Amino acid sequence: MSTLKVKPLGKSGRVIAVTPENAGWTYVGFELYRLSPGESAEAATGGRETCLVFVTGKGRVSVDGDDFGVLGERMSPFDGKPWSVYLPQGSRWKVMAQTELELAVCSAPGLGGGLPARVIAPDTLGQETRGKGTNTRHVTNILPEGEPADSLLVVEVITPGGHTSSYPPHKHDRDDLPNESLLEETYYHRLDPPQGFAFQRVYTDPDESGVREIDEAMAVEDGDVVLVPRGYHPCAACHGYDLYYLNVMAGPKRVWKFHNAPEHEWLLK
């Protein structure tokens, strides 16, 4: 199996745990909890800022002992916008499931910004449709550049069956602003219906001898995570199966500036 694909371990508790240490990179962390009613997850953020995303279900949230109430609304990631909570470094959080709950924990280095913890409600989230034809996909910005955070960028995308996404292929692996930013990225994939599969390719430009340092094409199933340390990373949803993914990005600067693969850029014209 690809070293860039992470499959869930078990069906309950913390089923995904991507850290900078086990991913072999510097910035992005991603965890996923699947909890039954009455079960809870909790942790300290330490030196990292965190965004809790209620992928599905409801849970009662407390931060540093303060009750943030019961959050969450949708029971499918394909049905409406998510509830989320932003947590600065130095916080302690707890979520107790009120229903079956799927909770994503997105993290990146805190930079001492002194931001308060806050609830990110669905009605505050911007949505947009990108692309055209069979490259159409629907984007929900949870923690975009224009909202306060130190390092994290968090976004959801729904790609209809038979469509492509993160396409034409683009990359963001060079700290070369204003042309391109360096951002590590994770993709958390869900399928509707869940027995489906989609495809994702992660690849770098060839070197002088024509060899690509990374060139992996993966079949992704419901619940898989794909790591994008660098390179281009397009997705394709198969006919009959809609694809959802939750992206977490972070790097040395909180700017999303990507570079399109030049041989495919004609598709934008």
CATH of the domain at 163: 2.60.120.10
- Tell me the pTM: 0.96
Per residue in 150-209, pLDDT (tens digit) is 999 999 999 999 999 999 999 999 999 999 999 999 999 999 999 999 999 999 999 988
pLDDT of residue 176: 95
Number of domains in the chain: 1
Please calculate the CA angle 182-4-33 and round it to the nearest 5 degrees: 95
| DSSP 8-state class, residue 83 | P
Give the mean model confidence (pLDDT) for residues 40-61. 97
Per residue in 82-141, pLDDT (tens digit) is 999 999 999 999 999 999 999 999 999 999 878 999 999 999 999 999 999 999 999 999
Helix (H) / strand (E) element for 176: namely: strand 173-176
Is residue 2 predicted with pLDDT exceeding 90?
no
The SS3 call for residue 23 is helix
What is the Cα–Cα distance from 220 to 236, expressed in whole angstroms? 10
Tokens representing 234 are 């397009």
pLDDT of residue 74: 97
Mean pLDDT of the chain: 96
Is residue 18 predicted with pLDDT exceeding 80?
yes
Tokens representing 12 are 């309950």
Is residue 1 predicted with pLDDT exceeding 80?
no
Domain extent at residue 150 = 5-268
pLDDT of residue 269: 84
pLDDT of residue 112: 87
pLDDT of residue 214: 96
Count of Cβ atoms closer than 10 Å to residue 197 Cβ: 16
**pLDDT > 90 fraction of the chain, expressed in percent and rounded:** 96
pLDDT of residue 114: 85
Give the mean model confidence (pLDDT) for residues 235-255. 98
Is residue 20 predicted with pLDDT exceeding 70?
yes
What single-letter amino acid sits at 106? C
